[in-house]
Amino acid sequence: MKHTDFGSMPCPIARSLGKVGEWWSILILRDAFYGLTRFDEFEKSLKIAPNMLTRRLAGLVEGGLMERRQYSARPPRYEYVLTKAGRDFKPVLLAFVAWGNDHLAPEGASLLVVSRETGKPADQVLVDANSGLAINDEDYMFAPGPAATDVMRSRLIQINQPGRA
């Protein structure tokens, strides 16, 4: 099955999905944040077929989110560690945790993000680091960046018109 190459699309969401859009890839990244690094650890945790895991790990390495490092010469053994780009994916995983707990966990949360100091659960919001304000629909909107296409600029003009929800 041939997949669409999102890497050449001007949309940052599409490009991001091109790197981590497969659910296995996101779960591998989750497990890497839990401290797993070795093939057999990922395989056991995810109960994933070895050939599928091999492909997903190779894709994450090729995409720059993980690095493959040899930790044993005889026999040759490798571990997979997060790169800076991989570590920078953490806020996306945190957003999945918050959204999943809010909308998909009628039995209650199975995973929380808590303060190391107090142990109290965080009330996660996306914050503008420049102003300290929570990013919301009333105060923030999408705007074209320097590399925006004419199509994207036109779309953003339409959705940003006053009175449009």
- Per-residue pLDDT at 99: 93
Q: In 3D, which of 100, 57, 110, 64 has the Cα closest to residue 84? A: 64
Q: Over the chain (165 residues), what is each successive 10-residue block's mean pLDDT? A: 71 84 92 97 98 96 96 95 97 94 93 96 94 94 93 92 71
The percent helix, strand, coil of the chain (3-state, each to 5) is 45, 10, 45
In this structure, the number of other CB atoms found within 10 A of the CB of residue 149 comes to 12
- Per-residue pLDDT at 2: 61
- Residue 29's CATH number: 1.10.10.10
Q: pTM score, two decimals?
A: 0.86
The H or E element that residue 101 is part of is helix 90-103
- Per-residue pLDDT at 1: 54
- Per-residue pLDDT at 14: 85
Asked if residue 68 is part of any domain, the answer here is yes
Size of the chain in residues: 165
Asked if residue 113 is part of any domain, the answer here is no
Domain of 57 in residue numbering reads as 1-102
The H or E element that residue 80 is part of is strand 77-82
